[in-house]
Amino acid sequence: MAKPISIEVWNPSGKYRVVSTKSMPGTRWIRLLTDQDCRVEICTEKKTILSVEDILALIGNRCDGVIGQLTEDWGDVLFSALKRAGGSAFSNMAVGYNNVDINAANKYGIAVGNTPGVLTETTAELAASLSLAAARRIVEADQFMRAGLYDGWLPHLFVGNLLKGQTVGVIGAGRIGSAYARMMIEGFKMNLIYYDLYQATRLEKFVTAYGQFLKANGEQPVTWKRAASMEEVLREADVISLHPVLDKTTYHLVNKESLAIMKKEAILVNASRGPVIDEAALVEHLKANPMFRVGLDVFEDEPFMKPGLAEQKNAVVVPHIASASKWTREGMATLAALNVLGKIKGYPIWGDPNRVEPFLDENSPAPTACPSIVNAKQLGLPSSKL
């Protein structure tokens, strides 16, 4: 017999049973569910990642919806179990859903939610932080101090890279990539080169206007260029930040060959998806090029790093915390809960999943809509007129 899963229960007599596989930041998301007659069960197991068997136990014989995490394997087994339990909704507390088999969800008529619209600035800030930390060797210097090795100022001690006037490269100039570019351009007066399948018109206009402002004030204007290829960005940029979607075309986008064409003292930042970098090739490149530096928030085989990466002093590594600001994580929890609640209640789908401010306003009732259902069209779900 399977071991019982420990849970925390809110509103025990609620009509609808909603399960959250993890405790999530804030309490508004709980209140939004319990105010609509939901019994909320939150898994309190100490395991970082729940197994399929654990989640099956949580779903049980009756469950209307589940809020889950990017680390969980949502496929045929879980969606069929949720369907048998009378459920109709699942939402990741994440914008990505690489862990979800959408075809399996469609097969069982389960709506799949995600949480875009609240991660843009937070993720861009983390990418900018990694850029600065790598450029100025902050983590190395911090460890040096903590080890008691500092015994006086030296001319060559932790000499890093100046960002001002250098070129920042962005691969994938969508919302997050463009926000990152603006931070680096306005913050450090860097020039921009970017590659994207679509022209980033708003970003180009921003850089042009900022360049004119600098020139009017007697400073060197910043410039922008849309590259014809990703390779052009890799060759020319001093700092490169990756912001593509992850699919078959972007798997190992950065590999041994592309690393070889980058500048010897370049900085590579990834806060998008781990598998866009061939991590084993990156480790070898870091070993061979000690002045090349990298800042990573995501990894190819999370939660693990490829052998040798942790030992490289020219690598700054953090545990997938790009969205880890209080406002963003609480917003993600709210949106995930409202995705599930909306489907249970039969609400239509919000028209623009990236304009979610009305759902996050604590002083007003949340719109009667699902913020973001990624398979809405496949399931034939109606769109909101709000």
Provide the annotated active-site residues: 273, 302, 320
The Cα 369–Cα 344 span in angstroms is 11
Residue 220 has φ and ψ, to the nearest 5°, of -70, 125
Rounded Cα gap, residues 17 and 38, in angstroms:
6
d(CA 349, CA 372): 7
Tokens coding 177: 């990539």
Amino acid at 364: S
Indicate the angle between helix axes 120-135 and 175-188, nearest 10 degrees: 50
> By the 8 A CB rule, do 177 and 194 touch?
yes
The vertex-145 CA angle with 139 and 147, nearest 5°, equals 100
CB 59 within 8 A of CB 83: no
β-bridge pairing 38-43 and 7-10:
antiparallel
